[in-house]
Structure 1
């Protein structure tokens, strides 16, 4: 891992979307680290605290832990941890299930939206709360 490039943990179990997200993050100056399940993501977040600068997660994942729960766990580790959710069917639940100061990108979205949202979360500190 390059120390100067922010590492972003991406949780996406759809291979095609995963590749698009990885490419967008790489082109945007980030280093994606990928987990395919909520359980794997929680293990990585817990075992490598401080290694990741933000979390980009789908909501519906393989296994028993969904994206809402992964984000909650990330916030238990770091209350300010930047979170971006990606979802199609579950986007409307963001206001009740999303963590404060997070972003919801409704699928399909332009990859530039992802990079911009991530840069804003990492650079601004401006709260973005579920409406």
Structure 2
């Protein structure tokens, strides 16, 4: 079986989910989609290491877990887990709440920016902050 690059995408807005899904699929990635922080953590905990990166919105609606929490959980599983945050209004909190060696993309963004960010993290081995 081929070693697929499965990206876990966490986004509560279905329109943005579709944009992200299209961009990453066109970029050659397989996806798993979660619409809440809680669902994302369940997928991470039961994954057996199948996910290669996390793309998460920061503000995830009415759930208790936001994108900051999901990324921290991913890093508990794998300290080098690649993380890309997406946000429309929380960029100023990235320095204090974001995990090290992550990338933040502000909405609206070009789909190619997302593919580039994921590729950069996956190909860098040890990304720089």
Fold-level similarity (TM above 0.5): yes
Offset at residue 126 of structure 1 (A): 4.1
Ranges of 4+ aligned residues in structure 1 off by more than 4 Å = none
Q: In the alignment, what sits opposite 1:120?
A: 120
Q: In the alignment, what sits opposite 1:3?
A: 2
Q: Output the CA distance in 1 between the equivalents of 2:78 and 2:85.
A: 17
Q: Output the CA distance in 2 between the equivalents of 1:88 and 1:36.
A: 17
Q: In the alignment, what sits opposite 1:66?
A: 66
Does the residue aligned with 1:33 lie in a helix, a strand or coil? strand
Q: In the alignment, what sits opposite 2:11?
A: 12
Does the residue aligned with 1:53 lie in a helix, a strand or coil? strand
Q: How does 1:71-86 map to 2 (within 5 A)?
A: 71-86=71-86
Q: Output the CA distance in 2 between the equivalents of 1:39 and 1:45.
A: 10
Q: In the alignment, what sits opposite 1:53?
A: 52
Q: Output the CA distance in 1 between the equivalents of 2:51 and 2:43.
A: 9
Q: Output the CA distance in 2 between the equivalents of 1:77 and 1:126.
A: 17
Offset at residue 4 of structure 1 (A): 3.5
Q: In the alignment, what sits opposite 2:31?
A: 32
Cα deviations by residue, 1:45-92 (Å, 9 ceiling, x for unpaired): 011131100000000113100000000000000000000000011011
Q: Output the CA distance in 2 between the equivalents of 1:24 and 1:123.
A: 18
* Pairs aligned (count): 128
TM-score scaled by length of structure 2: 0.95
Structure 2: gaps of 5 or more residues = none
